[in-house]
Structure formats: structure tokens, C-alpha cells
Amino acid sequence: MSSNNTFNLTTNFSVVAGLLTPANKSLAVVNKPERTKFQHIFTTVTFLVALCTNGFLLLVFLQGRRRLLTPFTVYIVNLLLGNVLLVAIEFPFMALNLYSGTFDEWVAGDFGCTVWLYGYMVFLAGIFGCHALIAISRVWAMVFPMHYRTRHTIRTAVLICLASWLYVHVFGLSGLIVDTVLYRHLMKPYFCTVNYAQQAAYFKASKLILFNLPELIMLLAFPVIGIGQVRRWRKRRSMGVVHQQQANQGNHVAVVVVQTQPSIQKRSHGMMVLAMLTVSVAVCWTPNIMYFTILTFRRISPPEEFVVAQHVLFSCQMILDPILFVLGLRSLREGVKRFLFFRAVR
């Protein structure tokens, strides 16, 4: 195999994390065949599982769209669809390398390399954005509840999702196009990665904006919503005392209680989804993001166990997403039961 076909799989697993590391060997992690093979196989398996779980939940939404599709669940469908499309883009290359048995060489050609990089530079950034949109929608509902109820329709949610994907493609795809046309072919020997040195400032900025920022939004959204919820509970309690005093005079206590229950339950479901997503993202994404953020700006030599662990954790998020949605939303659990048993669920 000629040197032009050499494939730095270690660098590409930096891309699997959605975070580009320099193509310069002096800044890259030392490539170890055993680790590379394990990471490649593990990612392939998680892709298959993610395709099944995310695809199944999309079918559930398709069958029960009249019951399940709301402005909030549009963001969930957006994330599920993004996960499935990422697998569709990247899995053929993973399978090709497994079939060929070449874990240290790129066998899909330059165009295949461009598609591979598109998936992990641009499309994966869009999935990060999908997570952030769920958090932003919850903040919107908490901070501006009346505006959220009156203006946040299914059409609005769809347009927001489309705008997010457009933003990611405009910002992320521009650097990849420039690299593909001008810079990648200059690397000797050739690696299936971007020519980092030629656009270092751009790739550093895009990493921080497209990957680090969405997680930061999710981590900050949770306490913001929590504080807002506590304030709302206190306000409701103080107002409840006044209403109860007034209702006692007219014997309408039961009416007051019944009217407040539905809205509380709906908000708690959305909060539960965000809480579980935030915890899973903090566990699965943070080691990876911190690792490649540091690696982007300085040379480090982390323990082998950490390199493998952060990759495993990151790869599991696509599997966890649909599971957490089912656990967090009662309507979705009922939709799954309807889909599986073809009967009405009380």
C-alpha cells in the first residue's frame, strides 16, 4: 500500500468524538493497534444498537404522531433522526474497514474521506445542537411561559430545528470545503483528516462553538430552570394560601386543586427529560470534550485507560438518548406499548 493511502485512525477517532486534533504527528496520540481495533469494533457495535433504538422510536412517533407529536417532542424527533442519519453516513466506512481488516489504512478513497469527515465534523456538530435545542426549549418554557404557550407551535419548532442545522452547515462545512479543495492533498503522507495546520484558528474556533458550547448550554440550562422552578413553587404556594382562604368562604377548595395539577405534571415531564439528558451528557461527553479541548491547544500524553474510557462513554450517548426519552415521558412509554401490542393503553 502506498504512503498516500495511509490512514491515521487515531486522528479519525478524534473526529469520532467530534473534535479535531492536529494532523501533526508530534501533537497526535500514539497509535496502538490493539486500542484502535477495539475502538473501531466498539463504535461499529454501538452504531448498530443506536440504529435499532433510535429507528424504533422514530417508528413509534410515526405510528402515534397524532398523540405524540407536540412542539416539544419535535426536538426529540429531531435528535433521533440526526442519530439515525449519522449512523447511515458513517457506518458503511466502519463496516468497510472491518471487512478489509485494515485498521491503519484508509481504503475508501479521497471522496469517501470527505464524506467521513463531513459526518464527524459537521453532522455530529448538528447532533450536539439537537441536545442544546431541548435545553433551550425548556428554558424558554420556564422563563417566558406565556410566550412559549402562545408562540411555540409545531411549525415554530420545526423551523428552529432547520435553522440550527443550517447554522451548523454554514459554519462547519465551510472549513471542510476549503480543506478538501486546497489543503488536504498537501499532507505527505496523506491522512484521512483535515490539514489542521493550514486552518488552525478556524478549527479551534469551530470546536469551541460547535461542540463545547452546546454542552455548556445544557449544563447551564438545568440550574437556571431549577431556580425558576423553585421560585414558581414558592409563588404558587403563597398564592395558594390566599386562594384557599378565599375558597373556604365559598367552599371551592377542590376546584382550585384540580385546576393546577395538569400543568404541573406536564412541566415535570419536560424537566425530567432535561435532567436525565443533562446527567448523561455530563457523564458521556465531558471526559471526551475536555480531553480533546486540551489536546487541541497543547500536547499531552494521557493514560491508555482514559483514552479508551472516554471513547466508550462518548459512543454510548446515541444509545442512551432514546432510552432516556422513553423513561422521561409517560406519553412516549404509552406510545411504545401501543406500537408493540397494537392495543389502546389506558
> CB-based contacts of 75: which residues, under 8 Å, 6+ apart?
130, 133, 134, 137, 157, 161
Q: Where does the pLDDT of residue 10 fall: very low under 50, low under 70, confident under 90, or very high at 90 and above?
A: very low
The pLDDT assigned to 81 comes to: 98
Count how many Cα atoms sit within 13 Å of the Cα of residue 220 in the half-sphere of its side chain: 9
Q: Could you tell me the residue ranges of all domains in the chain?
A: 3-223+268-341
What's the DSSP call for residue 6? B
For range 111-140, the mean pLDDT: 94
Q: What are the backbone dihedrals phi and psi of residue 105, each rounded to the nearest 5 degrees, phi first? A: -140, 150
The region of weakest confidence among 87-91, 245-249, 271-275, 302-306 is 245-249
pLDDT per residue as tens digits for the range 162-180: 999 999 999 999 999 999 9
The answer on pLDDT for 188 being more than 60 is yes
Q: 5 and 105 in contact (C-beta within 8 Å)?
A: yes
pLDDT, residue 102, reads: 65
Give residue-wise pLDDT tens across range 197-253.
Answer: 899 999 999 999 999 999 999 999 988 888 887 887 787 777 655 555 555 555 554
Give mean pLDDT, residues 40-54.
93
Contacts of residue 17, defined as CB under 8 A and 6 or more positions apart, other chains included, come to 288, 289, 291, 292, 310, 311, 314
Identify the top-confidence range among 290-294, 308-312, 321-325. Answer: 321-325
Buried b (16+ CB within 10 A) or exposed e, 200-219: eebbeebbeebbbebbebbe
Number of neighbours of residue 174 by Cβ within 10 angstroms = 14
Which of 175, 163, 89 is closest to 130 using CA atoms? 163
**83 contacts 50 by C-beta, under 8 angstroms:** yes
Task: Give the separation between CA 201 and CA 209, rounded to whole angstroms.
Answer: 12
Q: What is the pTM of this model?
A: 0.84
Fold of 3-223+268-341: Rhopdopsin 7-helix transmembrane proteins (1.20.1070)
Beta carbons within 8 Å of 95's beta carbon, 6+ residues apart: 44
Mean pLDDT value across the chain: 82
Residue 289 has pLDDT above 80, yes or no: yes
Give the number of other Cβ atoms within 10 Å of residue 333's Cβ: 15
